Structure 1
Amino acid sequence: MKDLLNGPRYLLQGAALLTRPKLRRFVIIPLLINLLLFGGLIAWAYHWVDGTTQWMLSRLPSWLQWLSFFIVPLFWTTSLVVIFYSFSVVANLIGAPFNGLLAEAVEAHLTGKAFASNWRDVVRDILPATFSELRKLLYYLLRAIPLFILLWIPLVNVPATVLWVLFGAWMMTVQYIDYPMGNHRLFFADQRARLRKRPLLAWSFGGLVMVATMIPVVNFVVMPAAVAGATVMWVREEGLQKR
């Protein structure tokens, strides 16, 4: 149960670190990426989900209107997770090299070790970082599509909704732990293997990231905060204690 509290705590600690003078310069580009993407798309997302919900309800015959009590929460939950995770994927795809730099700077701050990278390293890491993001996207799609189909099957959709939320939280942690672990040459298979040993930690951290992504204004800073928070988790949990 301790991991259920530690996950959110690490995200909040990461957010607090963003105000440190030595780290601010590494936050600027990830913050600008989020501002541009979420600033323009968040209003569209809420408008589309609301409009589509109303359209779906208008198609229900009067004797099935009672289903709206199940359809509306299910559709809103599913749609917002899909939309905002998709936004996060795009934002991280663009900002991946800069997020890696931020993770290294946060780790250097926490451990007192020297910060070795520079902006030339960002350019060098563009292709590897992009490949890593695309691999995570493929991993996500191969699992999200079957889950999404289950959401529309009566009776099955109730447990499927729980699985959908847990999977979304898991993916958020996988997304952001990649940066500190990638800096240590620990890649996708190693990352998932270590997180599987601490599922409650992964779900609680990623769950709060997912919720924060859906909150206006807060979602502008959630990407750098999650990068910093995942790095705090990596350091405090000593590489998730798997050797």
Structure 2
Amino acid sequence: MGHFRSFVDGITFFFQGLRWVARTPRWWLFGLIPALIVSVLYAVALYFLGTNAGGLAEWATPFADGWGQAARNTLRTLVGLLIVGIGLVLSVVTFTAVTLIVGDPFYEKLSEKVEESYGEVPGGHEVPLWKSIPRSVRDSLITLGYVLLFTIPLFFLGFVPVIGQTVVPVLGALVSGFFLTVELTTLAMERRGMARKNRFAVLRGNKAAALGFGGLLFLVFLVPLGAVVAMPAAVAGGTIMVRTRLVSA
């Protein structure tokens, strides 16, 4: 029951962030700018992936050239769907990291404003932009490695009858959601001088809350333009979560 309560609490942090940006719409608009830029780039990339999925599937399965037409087409259709599916999942998971990197000054300021509304802003751990961006890129690539470690096997399991249509999508959403929480709590945790290993440790210790917060966001981000509209609220919610639940201010 305690884990369920923590899971629900995690969900509520997104709504707290949503309420915060609703009360300060100029900061919501401010936070939309990087998300809009990145969303356009991702839309173009996904369009080209979708239109070239058949060719990529053919390139990836040269061994099927000698098969019968029905078997060859079936295999390449499945591989094409696999390519598009992996691309879609990765776009959802990496969108947050890329948007935070591109919009670092925007979201840093937004996160600070959220902290100000709750009291004193933690200080003493500021890092120059020329240092923080390379560090953010490195940490995001490491996080992406973890995402692939889990999501690729899960995607293949998705072709298993029954389990693939029931258990696997839920597990996939939770795994992806956890790593979304990792990204969205980074700003507030780094403000407190916490390195990547420390941040992961804190979130593993609050796994149910992290899954609730990120799992809901994963579903929201799947909705067209959902990631763009919800990104400022997600940053605000992640900041509130760190301040009021994960670590002391």
TM over 0.5: yes
Q: Is the Cα contact below 8 Å between 1:97 and 1:129 reproduced in 2?
A: no
SS at match of 1:185: coil
For the residues of structure 2 that align with 1:197 and 1:47, how far apart are their CA atoms? 40
Q: CA deviation at 1:229?
A: 0.5
TM-score (ref. length: structure 2): 0.73
Q: CA deviation at 1:96?
A: 2.0
TM-score (ref. length: structure 1): 0.75
Pick one of 177, 180, 205 that aligns with 1:172.
Answer: 180
Q: CA deviation at 1:209?
A: 1.9
Which residue identity does 1:8 align to in structure 2?
Answer: I
Q: Is the Cα contact below 8 Å between 1:14 and 1:226 reproduced in 2?
A: yes
C-alpha change, 1:72 and 1:55, in structure 2 (3 Å) is: closer
Superposition RMSD on alpha carbons, in Å? Answer: 3.9
Pick one of 137, 140, 144 that aligns with 1:134.
Answer: 137
For the residues of structure 1 that align with 2:51 and 2:219, how far apart are their CA atoms? 18
For the residues of structure 1 that align with 2:73 and 2:211, how far apart are their CA atoms? 34
C-alpha change, 1:115 and 1:149, in structure 2 (3 Å) is: closer
Q: Superposition pairs for residues 1-243 of structure 1, below 5 Å?
A: 1-21=4-24, 24-25=26-27, 27-42=28-43, 44-45=45-46, 48-49=49-50, 52=53, 61-62=69-70, 77-109=85-117, 111=118, 113-114=119-120, 125-147=128-150, 150=153, 151-152=155-156, 164-237=172-245, 239=247
For the residues of structure 1 that align with 2:78 and 2:196, how far apart are their CA atoms? 37
Deviations 1:156-213, CA, capped at 9 Å, x for gaps: x958876654432221111011111111112211111111111121122112222222
For the residues of structure 2 that align with 1:18 and 1:132, how far apart are their CA atoms? 28
Work out the number of aligned pairs and report it.
Answer: 232
For the residues of structure 2 that align with 1:76 and 1:138, how far apart are their CA atoms? 21
For the residues of structure 2 that align with 1:43 and 1:86, how far apart are their CA atoms? 15
Q: CA deviation at 1:50?
A: 6.7
Moved more, 61-70 or 74-83: 61-70
Q: Is the Cα contact below 8 Å between 2:54 and 2:76 reproduced in 1?
A: no
5+ residue gaps, structure 2, are 59-63
Deviations 1:15-61, CA, capped at 9 Å, x for gaps: 2211334x734x4443111112213532652563376279859x895
5+ residue gaps, structure 1, are none
Q: Is the Cα contact below 8 Å between 2:53 and 2:83 reproduced in 1?
A: no
Q: Is the Cα contact below 8 Å between 1:147 and 1:160 reproduced in 2?
A: no
Q: CA deviation at 1:152?
A: 4.5
C-alpha change, 1:237 and 1:69, in structure 2 (3 Å) is: farther
Q: CA deviation at 1:215?
A: 1.6
For the residues of structure 2 that align with 1:15 and 1:145, how far apart are their CA atoms? 29
